[in-house]
Amino acid sequence: MKLLLFFFGLSISEGRVFPPSFKFCAATAAYQIEGAAREEGRSPSIWDVFSHIPGKTDGGQNGDNAVDHYHLFKDDIDLMKQLNFDVFRFSLSPSRILPTPDYKVNEEGIFHYRRVLEYLKFQGIKPLVTLFHWDLPQYMDELYGGLLNATALKEFFSKYAEAAFDGLGDLVDSWSTFNEPYTSCMQGYQYGSMAPGRNIHPESEPYDCIHAVLVSHGAVAKIFKEKFPKGTSNKTISIAVNCDWQEPYTDSEEDKNASIRGLDYYLHVFMDPIYFGKYPDGMVERSQGHLKPLTPEEVELINGSVDVFALNSYTSNYVYNDPNLTLGESYDNDGLLGKTFTSINGTSIGNVTEPSWLYNVPWGIGKLIRHINQRYNPGEILVTENGLCVTGEPNWVGDEVLKDQGRIDFYKGYLNAILDAVEEGVPVSTFCAWSMFDNYEWARGYTQRFGITYVNYTTQERFFKDSALWFGRLINRTEGV
């Protein structure tokens, strides 16, 4: 494995520097980087199955090998150490830990992750461990309906979390339960564009998924708090929700209300039950019976079930009231929302990057984190994902693959917006760059590169892009934003 060494320099250049307490984090996910899909007891996940179905992913590409982090984790952690990242956010593969439907713990899986965590400790990097980043064991989908069956999902995640906490809890202070449940529920069960690829009942299954995730999250948080009680532990638990800022299309009351509904259907539907013990006003009624109010037992389980607010955010869009949509046809329709990236004056909300959905809108994340702070008063906010694929980057050749100034400019804009909020007192403590490595980008396969580290997928060599070197200087406070 070839590691790229470099020198940071000593003088501080122009730019705003983050406070010393602010943490910088490199983010990844198991299926996107690990590979070793059939090694040491791991069973198939829904992504193993989905990605092998012809036509489901770009070029029929899959994560069987990914970037081989499973075998190269020490080299990869060494790279993070060279950049002086404070935190490594990564996920466990549930199929490595509970590979069979009898929920018997695979000790080889636990042993592997202990090795990763012990090496992180050796290098002085804190782990932020996600239990679920979309790769549900296939047997859960085949036998129990996957994320649609609240009872079965709660039992599985309770067993899985207990195995992870017992086997790894002494090495991990920061835990997260589900990553982007909105994406799992919408792309998996409304559009069918991601595993398990269902679009059979878009009017009801997204709601079933949301309910099952919240109940399972609450069950895991309960186990966590019993094992690591407050006062005896500084450990924290969260759920990493994703949201694009929903900017009103016009100043009309209808569009301002549409903006709130946009946040309801994206963000509040997960976090209002956790902070307030109920779904956002109007959602149950508009769902035409598909979203049931939480029972008192569910409220007790879910309410107060996070210690910190974990947010993934990449972009923003305009929203407007659309009364022409029919309630009861789909989750999206029930919000009565129209969405666009073009303002009423015909200007774009920001420059578009390689994915058509990702516009560069730094002010949007500023508005979003202020909204979260005002609505929930969370005490601490972690930005657990943010990043981009630079336009044209997958097709670059030669030395230009490392010259990603566009990515640096993107990060500067978003981090300046976050620093503005921090200086106003918004309690953002951590920023995670997505991603530490070029990797398997789900249904897009290897056609998009989000990494600050270039990966040659043939040789598995890693090379720092300019954005990685810039992060190194930023983390060392020898350069600002």
Residues designated as active site: 180, 385
In this structure, are residues 416 and 362 in contact, taking their beta carbons and an 8 Å threshold? Answer: yes
Contacting residues for 374 by C-beta, under 8 A, at least 6 apart: none
Tokens coding 474: 């930023």
Nearest to 477 by CA among 24, 77, 62: 24
Give the closest residue to 25 by CA, choosing from 120, 89, 69, 101.
89
Q: Which residue from 479, 432, 429, 412 is spatially nearest to 21, judged by alpha carbons?
A: 429
3-state secondary structure string across the chain: CCCCCCCCCCCCCCCCCCCCCCEEEEECCHHHHCCCCCCCCCCCEHHHHHHCCCCCCHHHCCCCCCCCHHHHHHHHHHHHHHHCCCEEEEECCHHHHCCCCCCCCCHHHHHHHHHHHHHHHHCCCEEEEEEECCCCEHHHHHHHCHHHCHHHHHHHHHHHHHHHHHHHHHHCCEEEEEECHHHHHHHHHCCCCCCCCCCCCCCCHHHHHHHHHHHHHHHHHHHHHHHCCECCECCEEEEEEECCEEEECCCCHHHHHHHHHHHHHHHHHHHHHHHHCCCCCCHHHHCCCCCCCCCHHHHHHHCCCCCCEEEECCCEEEEEECCCCCCCCCHHHHCCEEEECECCCCCECCEECCCCCCEECHHHHHHHHHHHHHHHCCCCEEEEECCCCCCCHHHCCHHHHHCCHHHHHHHHHHHHHHHHHHHCCCCEEEEEEECCCCCCCHHHCCCCCCCCEEECCCCCCEEECHHHHHHHHHHCCCCCC
